[in-house]
Structure 1
Amino acid sequence: MDEGTGLSWMICGTCVFVWRHVSHQWSENFRKFAMPNELCTPSLDKIDSKHGDSWVVCITELQSETQTSTAKFTQKCISASMIICSRKSLAVVHWADIFSDTDYKPVLSLGPGGSLEYKGLTERRASLGWTGAAVSSHVRSMVSSFYMNCDVQGCVAIVCLSTGELWRLDCHGSNIYWKKIYRDVDDGPAQGDLGKSFPISNSVGARSLVWRPKEGSSMEGWRQLLLLTAAGIECWDVELSVDHNIQLLWKYDVFADLDSGKVLTGQKQTWLLDFQWDITCKRLKLLLASYCKDKVNGSNYMQYFTASYSCLPNSLRREGGIQIVLPKARIEEEEFLLSMQLRVGGKPEGSVMILASDGTATVAYCQGGAMKLYKFNLGWDAGKVIDACVLPSSEEKEGGSWLVLTERAGVWAIPGDAVLLCGVEPPERSLSRKGSLNDRSIKEDKRHTGPSTWREDLKLDETIEMKGNLAALEHTSVDVEVEALVGQFFTNFLTTGRADGVAEKLQLAGAFEKEDNTNVFVLASKAIVDALPKHWTSSMSSNTAILAAVSAQLADKQCRHQQFLQFLSASNCHEELRHRQRSTLHLIMEHGEKLSAVISLRELHNLSAQARQQGLLDSEWSSKTEVTEASGAMWELVLLTGEKARRNNVMLLDRDKAEIFYSRITELEDLFSCIHLHFDVIVIKEQPTQAQAEKACEIAHACAKALKTGIRFRDTHHTWYPSPEGLTPWYCKPVVRMGLWKLATVILDLKEEVSVLLPSLVMTLMSHLEEVADVLLEAYAGAITAMVEREEEYRALQMEYWSRRDLLLSAMHQHVRRLFEDANKDADGEIGERNRLNILQELYSPLVSLARRHAGYQTLWDICSELKDMSSLRSFMHESMGLREGRFSNFVFEQCYKNKQFSKLLRLGQEFKEDLSLFLQKHKDLLWLHDLHIEHFSLASSTLHWLAFSKEPVVSAAVEYLHGNWTPYCKTSKLKMAHRKRLLNMAKLSALAGGDSVLSEKVMDIDADIEMLKVQMEAYQCNLVEEDDVLTPRQLVEICLKSDNRNLFLRLFHVFAWGGDIFRKSNRSLLEAAWLKAVDFDDWIMMRQVSERDGWSDEQHVEALHNTVLYEAARCCYSCFQKGGSFENVLPLLCEETEEGVEFKSVETILMRHADFPEAGQIMIAAIQMGSSTEDAKSLGDEMDM
């Protein structure tokens, strides 16, 4: 059996039979070849005995470089060569192309000619004193490959002999060329203390050959070959051409690696038996056997184990430890031991199969940390197991079920579940059907296991295993009884039309205990819709006859499923499921959806077949017709899906692919899985672009129609469904979404190609893209809704939904826009306008409908902007679509703001007042304008007040609006002081317009900020601050305090006056420093001396004091208006003593710290009193005279 090509062969009599073992039809790829007469007896009835009865066969398929590994299970051999070689005589027969219609004669070679040097190894063993029987030379293994990068058509085969010798065979033309490959033959590890009489002499110098994966090749046109010898593994580089070159690259000593890892501790001798790549072709699995001795009872035994290796460029590396397959087994004969073969990759995952020359096949796998064995055995004598392989899986890097080729019963598949169920612990017995060669081992076996045979041991182990699972078996039997009871009641209902008391009886039987797929009602519904017909394959010989029965079969299933729903309703089981087991009832109804979808697919195929018969299909595939299977792409997809079901369920291997697809209704999701994984098998890149487009459109239309039919079934029977909260429909599952997305991406790629080569197909592709996008986006929306209702994390899926939605809508919009531009290129006047409207009505309407359902805001905005259709835009804004994404009105506002269309934005605000108010909360530079327009003056005042001192860049147009110079396209920048002043003035006017009085707190706050802004403007004129700086009151005080400008310094007292009581208290130290510095601006000692010398009058004294900074400061702080309370509460003007004699800090006590106070303190106090008093100058003058 060959896993790569899916072919099996058998030599019977004088003929070689080759067939495809993965097909249910025996005739598919079946070939019969007669052996050349030179190899047969004179009567031509059998092969001559001198060639022996054992042959090695290699079938090599010529594969295209573009074929992918994911499509491996769909490939059929188109061109393959076959080489057979006699193990005994080395006679070789080569068939160049076994599937060609041309009758090619085979090429025969009776060997390399001359005497073969087979005695070298035997003679060396004799010289070492070996007394074992002489080993006859024979072929151990053979591999072959086609020539690469060579003008000559042919293939090369490498043959290894049991003596360790290698031969290269080049088969091309009518000749077979032999070339001996010289290598040093290694005898393997030393015999050690086993003795010369030990029955296993390790005489076979070469074990097996296997190609290394192509990506590991060192040069183009070369391929590396791995040879398993008695001592280790050798890597050879083989040139795949007529040059016959081959060279040794490296050797790997397996025993040295195992010894260094202390793996072989306590084992006297180890033999390398076979190796094979795993399913990923990245790890090499090696089968070994070792001879051990039990130190407790002194018995000898064999141990079998495997080791895994990864392949490095120039060596191997062991991955992990070893896996023991048989811990204790009987000692076997050398011929039997060295004939064991390893197979890797079948199910259960990680299992291996060991084939022995006596016809046994044993599967070993690890379960729960313990090794289990399963021996293939039929209930009747099927003869020996000749070979085995793995059924190619539909999934990449995943193994399939084991296939075995038997001597009398043909090919059998071993389901993975059967291996798990019947696996037993490794008994102390041999893998063969023979007894041990060690008498002591026989005695030990009898003492431990008794006289029972291995079959009895297996039965005993299975009995123990069954006892351990007794509870599970009993539970399964109860389920079977309940299922039978449901079937009985349903049959009675169909006969009598009555179902009285059925719900109560089923309740007592436990029919409502399980949910989802394990519920008996779901199983009954599935049995109806998934029933396999009994007559399609057995009595119908052609596909036409099979397909004729499909429609009737599906209609019968639909009728029966509808009757089952009526039975649930009549028996009150429907209400029970509807309220207590929503997911169960949902699955039952989904069976009806899938059945309707498959029926729609069948109808499409019938229409296609009828159209082909009547010749109604044109050369160009039209999207306006219901005939969608002109090229047969959908039929290919049906067969591909059926083939995948066959591979996943080996019990269906004898069924037709189409039969499986149209029968396994509940597995309809596999159709979309095949689209996702294997679409390149149907739409092949090498095909003409038009053919690819037609196939993609055909499949897209069929899938979209099937899904819409299922959705229509749901809408029609909505009263039968349970409440949908948290339930995900089948068409919203990831596998369906991935398949639809694959279709969409393929159509988009093809659209780019055909837009240049075949523009006429663009319209067809885009119309089908619209169909796929519709159901795909509905699937995403349904999945997200269910996740939200289940309170699951949905944001990752939502982001994927948004990105793919925008991509699809953008592609469709660009297509419509291009058609629109082409149609209006030369259109003018009234006719052109009418043509434009017709195009919009025909092309934009479905796109707008799709965008509205899935909140495609960008598409709707672009369409309305291009058409300048404000009425439609406003209509869309009133809809509440896309609540999770935000309302469409919010998106429109964002686009207007982004494009600096402020006038348009504010005009929309007149109709969407609340929506725009919410949006402008993060754009306050425009919020105040909207508030003014809707006459929310108080809110506008607050916004303007905040905006005047905002440090964030704002839209300068919002400020220019105050000047009546509105610029729709303007830059954002920081506000200047003049802008801030205007904003504060607007804030004050808005507050007054909103009903606030002049003395209200809001207006006073605005006035205070206006005064402080005036101080900042004076500081800017003195070049102390920047024009766009926004300073706090404390920063203003600090700047003024450092200034020597008399007027600017006085302004800091205005800041304290308008800053409020809290500001004054928190900055009292600055206030004290300001009073001290205010003294320094006037020469108080000189003033006192001049007044005494010149004898100033009261008016002169008052005039002089009025010109001092102290007077102005006191007047500002203590006699004028102060915000937030009197200065006396923070810093009294004059010091006062309490009854305890404690003085509080005041302006007077601060001035007393000045150096001039002892001489001029009286006039200083007079100045601050005059500034704070409302009395006339005369009374103040009298006080100074005193």
Structure 2
Amino acid sequence: MWRVQCNLPPRAVEVLRSGGSHESHGGMNAERSTAWVTRGNVVLAWPLPKTPCELEGGAAPESCAEYYANGGERPIVYVTRSSKDGALLMTSAGGASSGGVVTVTRCDANGGTFRELGAASLPGAPAVTAVASIPSPTGGVVAAVGCADGELYLLECPPNGGELIVKRADRDAETGGGGGGGATTPSRLVNLAMSASKAALRFIKPSTAHRSIRSIAFARSSTRGGGSMRLLVLTATSTEEWEVSRDGDVALGETHEVLPAIKSALQSDGDLEIASIAAGDGDDATVLCRDGARWSIHVGERRRGGGAFALLASTIPPAGSVPAGGAPGARATVHVGGAPRESALVVTSGGGAALFAGSTLQEQLLLHDPAAGGGGVLAAAPAPELGGWLLLTELMGVVAYAPTAPAPPSPIKRSPSPAPPPEPRDSGPSPTRFSPRLAAAAAAAASAPRATAADAAREEAEAAVRNEFAAYVAGHGAAPSECGFRLRAAGALGGSLDGTEGGDVDGGVGAFAACSRAIVDALPKHWPGPDGPGPGVELHLDEKARRHDVFLRFLVEASGVWQLLAASEREAILEHGEMVSALLCVRSLHNEAAEMAETGADRERGSDALALLLEAATTAGAALQASDAAVRGRPAVEVCYSRATGAADALLPALADGLERHAGARARASLHERAAALDALSRALLGALSSASDFRRHHASLYPPAGAGAVAPPPRWNAGEGARMALTAAADAAAALRDEAARGGAPDLASPLGSQLYALAAPLLDATAAHVASAPLGSAERAMARDEYARARASVLPALMNAARASDGGFGGFASGDFASGPFAVTMDAVAAVAEAHFGYEQLAEVCETAMAHAARVGDGAAIDGAVARTHHHMRTLRGAAEDGECTFATFMFHRMMTNPGYHSGVGARVAEMLQDTPDEFYGELGECLKPHPPLLWLHQLRADDYVGAAGTLHGLSVSGASGGGNASVREQAQYLSLAKLSLLAGGAPADADDVVAIDAALDLAKIQSALSARRKVGSADASSPPLPPLKLVEACLGDSAKGASEDDLIDAFSVFASAGGEFREANKSLLEVCWRRAAAETDWSELGALGASGGDAAYVRALAATPVARAARRCYDPSYAVRLGPPFDEVITPENALKLLEEALGGEEASVEPLRAALSLGISAR
């Protein structure tokens, strides 16, 4: 389990990502909670959280300190923290170019920059190779500095800075003295002789290379003497333990020669190099060695008294298990003390990390390769309190890694330390004695524990499957019931005993799938020579295919377990067979090209194809070698053809890369050369996929049903990313090359390239469609898959259509023999087949329209009917995919008919045909398509006998107008309202229905505005202007006070009140009263009264009826005269109140009031 403990400081991220030739390095002091990184001469250090971080994504660093070392070389740095105030204390030296100068700096806990406390120049200006430090009890620093010449110095810096105290560690100092005077005893003489020998040997020093100090580490207080600190020093060949007394004196305690014991164990006389050492509990130590490109790890005991290093266990990690550690000059460091207890963590200078566990360190729990992502590991430290280790990485910062520990290991057996220090040759053999390496590895593997119980169970199940299959192949297999029982007992079968279906297996990695994979990925016993591929590899693939078929027969017939396997496991086993078939096809094409290059008539073409296939196979093999240690150092081509399961993740991407480089936009060759490259690589690609499809077709009965969760993992390998990349590259290249050829680059290639594009189109679109189907609905993955599918359609289908047009001369091409221009021609029918399967509605519509146009041109009525029927068939069957935003073909065609004239004279004629000839079964979809087009929708609704719907659409048009936007003119309003009324009446609505009455009222208002416009011919009441609201219309009828209004205008104002509804009348009662007053003012009532007194009754009555008051009374109170909407006028102004209002307007003169009463009574006489 990984968990980020502390993020990198922003400045550290900036420095690590900066360019240049400098390498990034780092370090950690877990005991003092510090971490640091260096790049060039820049050093950045920061404190780590002292408690486990529970924040998601890790804690932010509290502070960060920056320091620039002198010189351009990477400084050697060690950072600790003050035991008093937590300040960062750094000891640094500039490496080989430092001139022996060691600097101690300090930075307070709140960050910033380091300030110098002191510096010291070591005697002789040696090159510093190792530094370690601890805080002193007083708040200063105690540092140990190792040099390339083997010298060791102890430095002490006071807490407030000043001159550093430097003490040289003397390897020749005597750690014990002799007695006083007296006679010289034999033992005394021996000691004197030995001292003399030592004095003589002081002048014979070992070479600097052997004495160079590699690393230094402070250890806990030793129980071997009176020292308070202990230093563990690693040189090129040995380890040294130094005792540091409380007063700062340094004395060599013990020396253990490590290299001879390890060379003996490995039986190596080569240039073995000690890379790193880590002290474990007690006297244990773990040593990391390197011999060329091979690493080895050794656990030993530093026995008291010095001498040889007693080995307890050793391991040689397999090739590739120490990532980024095989390059020349690569360095590595080993760490112990984490979890599990018996484990060792190796961190390489290239950023890799590997954790080995178990009593013999045979079990690998971690393999972190920076090339696979996650960034390089810069440093590591044990963190048992966190369940494992702390790792300082380039991308994630400080990460806690808690491994899944193996089963409890058996403790390492240690020999008891003898009382007197024995000589190395007399110490007896180690408990684990190493003979030749193969024997040692076998013994270690036999004694190593299983990683987990689940691993042991899985291995047991796989072994049972292998054994039963081997027995079947040998001809002495058991009966199906007995075989199935044994397989179930071994754990290879899950589910119920009577099971018709086994439990699901994640990713298809059960015991049977593992054995199937082992069959198809088996390596040949003998690799071919350096001359390259031969027929042996193809025979090897043939044998794999045959053996896999035998394995399928064993599962189906001999053991009877096929239907008991999980659907995902069955799918995985069958996919292995598909991959072998695909790889065998490519191998056959490879050999065919090789034979053509050697003996064929077209040797140049064969040589070119061979070079392309060889390049693709080499690229794929190299990709497999990067992740498969078993095939490293082998010929890359044959690695490609040996690992069948690499077809999806290695070979197909390699073909995609080759297509882009040799046939795509990046290619710089001639058109014919690019076309030849496309032909060679696309044949391999399509051949592989076709062979896989043939295998699937021949074994169709064995595949799980579609609903059985059989896709493992989605999408299947032949629709995975590698296949889609390769098919896209090939299709894009074919489309571009065909277009270039058709434009005059090479007309002879246009038809073959079109045919090649057609061959690639269906597999590409099938693969991208399968990718869409495999993603969960509504997920971001499905959205991305849909976009990829749409891009593929947009790239391939128009190019295919262009090829069909060119081949068919613009005609339909439905009988390929009639119109095809050659054997490679792409017909319209071929394009239609692809478009029909992949929502290619634009191309399918063009094919249908072209067929209709061709039939109409030749006057073939039957052909026209057939073309129309074909279009309706597609409209009926292609129902789209609403969940992915794909409409039906019928919807697409209706939209197209409203925008594209097709073979008609114009869009209008085609729309008319659509409204007249669309079959009834599509009325619903046509209505939905016409909703954004109301001027067409109401016509369709009338044709569909939907009178109420048509009335609603027409009513909406009376407001919005034909062009939409709510700007209908008065004339348009009257037209649409009249049609709406007719639709309602045609639908059976009575004349007094509310909807009809409302339309009549609206028509009356439109009529009033039109009449007003006709009378005045100017102003806001123009008939072509938008309809006026009732209030504005009343105001327009009344006119301004200067001009006044005619009697007709005034009466129209009362009509507006009559047709605008009760709420309008109630809200504008005062304006209605104004109208009554204006009506009364329009008549000379005195003159009218005189007429009544002197004239006849008939003339008087006619004069009264013609007055505006009488006409207004009829409009307002006669139910048979005016159109009214809402309650009667009585609820607003009763006739009595109207009379009173009019009398008040006339001032109460009796001569005027009498004719007024008569006129009002005459107007409402019908009541």
TM-score (ref. length: structure 1): 0.57
Question: 2:326 aligned with 1:403, yes or no?
Answer: yes
For 1:911, give the aligned amino acid.
T
Give the direction of change, closer, same or farther, for the CA distance of 1:766–1:510 in structure 2 (3 Å limit).
Answer: same
Give the direction of change, closer, same or farther, for the CA distance of 1:912–1:476 in structure 2 (3 Å limit).
Answer: same
User: Which residue matches 1:487?
Assistant: 466
For 1:803, give the aligned amino acid.
R
User: Which residue matches 1:1115?
Assistant: 1114
Question: 2:500 aligned with 1:500, yes or no?
Answer: no
Alignment of 1:806-885 (within 5 A): 806-821=794-809, 835=819, 842-866=826-850, 868=853, 870-871=867-868, 872-880=870-878, 882-884=880-882, 885=886
User: Which residue matches 2:1077?
Assistant: 1079
For 2:569, give the aligned amino acid.
T
Alignment of 1:3-402 (within 5 A): 206=97, 261-262=112-113, 290-296=131-137, 300-301=143-144, 328=218, 359-361=273-275, 375-377=288-290, 401-402=324-325
Give the direction of change, closer, same or farther, for the CA distance of 1:1048–1:698 in structure 2 (3 Å limit).
Answer: farther
1:567 deviates by 3.6
Question: 2:954 aligned with 1:944, yes or no?
Answer: yes
* Aligned counterpart for 1:673 among listed residues 653, 670, 680: 653
Question: 2:1009 aligned with 1:1016, yes or no?
Answer: yes
SS of 2:641's equivalent?
helix
Question: 2:630 aligned with 1:642, yes or no?
Answer: no
User: Which residue matches 2:898?
Assistant: 897
Question: 2:723 aligned with 1:705, yes or no?
Answer: no
Alignment of 1:428-439 (within 5 A): none
Question: 2:344 aligned with 1:421, yes or no?
Answer: no
Question: 2:589 aligned with 1:584, yes or no?
Answer: no
User: Which residue matches 2:551?
Assistant: 564
User: Which residue matches 2:190?
Assistant: none
- Cα pair 1:592 1:713 within 8 Å, conserved: yes
Give the direction of change, closer, same or farther, for the CA distance of 1:470–1:497 in structure 2 (3 Å limit).
Answer: closer
Instruction: Give me the whole-angstrom Cα distance separating, in 1, the residues matched to 2:822 and 2:94.
Output: 89
Residue deviations 1:365-407 (CA, integer Å, cap 9, x gap): xxxxxxx99945579998999xxxxx999xxxxx974314599
Give the direction of change, closer, same or farther, for the CA distance of 1:382–1:935 in structure 2 (3 Å limit).
Answer: closer
SS of 2:1166's equivalent?
coil
For 1:483, give the aligned amino acid.
E
SS of 2:1080's equivalent?
coil
Question: 2:747 aligned with 1:759, yes or no?
Answer: yes
Instruction: Give me the whole-angstrom Cα distance separating, in 2, the residues matched to 1:788 and 1:1120.
Output: 68
- Cα pair 1:516 1:584 within 8 Å, conserved: yes
Instruction: Give me the whole-angstrom Cα distance separating, in 1, the residues matched to 2:753 and 2:899.
Output: 34
Question: 2:645 aligned with 1:692, yes or no?
Answer: no
For 2:834, give the aligned amino acid.
L
User: Which residue matches 1:317?
Assistant: none
1:641 deviates by 0.5
Give the direction of change, closer, same or farther, for the CA distance of 1:1039–1:614 in structure 2 (3 Å limit).
Answer: farther
Instruction: Give me the whole-angstrom Cα distance separating, in 2, the residues matched to 1:187 and 1:643.
Output: 34
Give the direction of change, closer, same or farther, for the CA distance of 1:714–1:231 in structure 2 (3 Å limit).
Answer: farther
Give the direction of change, closer, same or farther, for the CA distance of 1:418–1:665 in structure 2 (3 Å limit).
Answer: farther
1:501 deviates by 5.3
User: Which residue matches 2:45?
Assistant: none
Instruction: Give me the whole-angstrom Cα distance separating, in 1, the residues matched to 2:776 and 2:974.
Output: 50
1:797 deviates by 2.4
For 2:753, give the aligned amino acid.
L
- Cα pair 1:593 1:710 within 8 Å, conserved: yes
Give the direction of change, closer, same or farther, for the CA distance of 1:679–1:837 in structure 2 (3 Å limit).
Answer: closer
1:852 deviates by 1.4
For 1:1116, give the aligned amino acid.
R
Instruction: Give me the whole-angstrom Cα distance separating, in 1, the residues matched to 2:1033 and 2:286.
Output: 90
Residue deviations 1:139-167 (CA, integer Å, cap 9, x gap): xxxxxxxxxxxxxxxxxxxxxxxxxxxxx
Question: 2:1157 aligned with 1:1172, yes or no?
Answer: no
- Cα pair 2:594 2:610 within 8 Å, conserved: no
- Cα pair 1:1075 1:1151 within 8 Å, conserved: no
SS of 2:523's equivalent?
coil
1:1064 deviates by 1.6
1:866 deviates by 4.7
Instruction: Give me the whole-angstrom Cα distance separating, in 2, the residues matched to 1:186 and 1:660.
Output: 43
Give the direction of change, closer, same or farther, for the CA distance of 1:951–1:976 in structure 2 (3 Å limit).
Answer: closer
- Cα pair 1:402 1:413 within 8 Å, conserved: yes
Question: 2:609 aligned with 1:617, yes or no?
Answer: no
* Aligned counterpart for 1:608 among listed residues 585, 588, 593: 593
Instruction: Give me the whole-angstrom Cα distance separating, in 1, the residues matched to 2:519 and 2:647.
Output: 15
- Cα pair 2:1039 2:1045 within 8 Å, conserved: no
1:1013 deviates by 2.0
Instruction: Give me the whole-angstrom Cα distance separating, in 1, the residues matched to 2:987 and 2:422.
Output: 109
1:649 deviates by 2.2
* Aligned counterpart for 2:758 among listed residues 770, 774, 777: 770
User: Which residue matches 1:805?
Assistant: 793
1:1087 deviates by 0.9
1:888 deviates by 1.6
1:738 deviates by 2.5
SS of 1:707's equivalent?
helix
SS of 1:531's equivalent?
coil
- Cα pair 1:942 1:987 within 8 Å, conserved: yes
Question: How many correspondences in the alignment?
Answer: 795
For 1:813, give the aligned amino acid.
M
SS of 2:326's equivalent?
strand
Residue deviations 1:254-281 (CA, integer Å, cap 9, x gap): 999999944688896799xxxxxxxxxx
1:426 deviates by 5.2
Question: 2:914 aligned with 1:908, yes or no?
Answer: yes
- Cα pair 1:642 1:659 within 8 Å, conserved: yes
Give the direction of change, closer, same or farther, for the CA distance of 1:379–1:402 in structure 2 (3 Å limit).
Answer: closer
1:854 deviates by 0.8
User: Which residue matches 2:632?
Assistant: 653
Question: 2:1105 aligned with 1:1106, yes or no?
Answer: yes
Residue deviations 1:272-325 (CA, integer Å, cap 9, x gap): xxxxxxxxxxxxxxx995453441598643599xxxxxxxxxxxxxxxxxxx99
Give the direction of change, closer, same or farther, for the CA distance of 1:952–1:360 in structure 2 (3 Å limit).
Answer: farther
Instruction: Give me the whole-angstrom Cα distance separating, in 1, the residues matched to 2:216 and 2:1009.
Output: 94
Instruction: Give me the whole-angstrom Cα distance separating, in 1, the residues matched to 2:889 and 2:94.
Output: 83
Instruction: Give me the whole-angstrom Cα distance separating, in 2, the residues matched to 1:1100 and 1:949.
Output: 47
1:1002 deviates by 4.4
Instruction: Give me the whole-angstrom Cα distance separating, in 2, the residues matched to 1:934 and 1:654.
Output: 77
1:861 deviates by 2.6
- Cα pair 1:823 1:836 within 8 Å, conserved: no
User: Which residue matches 2:174?
Assistant: none
1:642 deviates by 0.8
SS of 2:529's equivalent?
coil
For 1:739, give the aligned amino acid.
A
SS of 1:882's equivalent?
coil
After the TM superposition, which of the residue ranges 665-674 and 486-495 deviates more from structure 2? Answer: 486-495
Query: Structure 2: any 5+ residue segments left out of the alignment?
Result: 1-69, 78-90, 123-127, 148-213, 220-230, 239-270, 279-284, 299-317, 331-347, 357-363, 368-378, 384-416, 425-429, 434-444, 495-502, 855-866, 902-906
1:855 deviates by 1.4
1:483 deviates by 1.6
User: Which residue matches 2:1045?
Assistant: 1045
User: Which residue matches 2:701?
Assistant: 719
After the TM superposition, which of the residue ranges 847-856 and 717-726 deviates more from structure 2? Answer: 717-726
SS of 1:402's equivalent?
coil
**% same residue:** 22
- Cα pair 2:555 2:561 within 8 Å, conserved: yes
- Cα pair 1:270 1:290 within 8 Å, conserved: no
* Aligned counterpart for 2:522 among listed residues 510, 526, 531: 531
Residue deviations 1:521-540 (CA, integer Å, cap 9, x gap): 322221222222222x1xx3
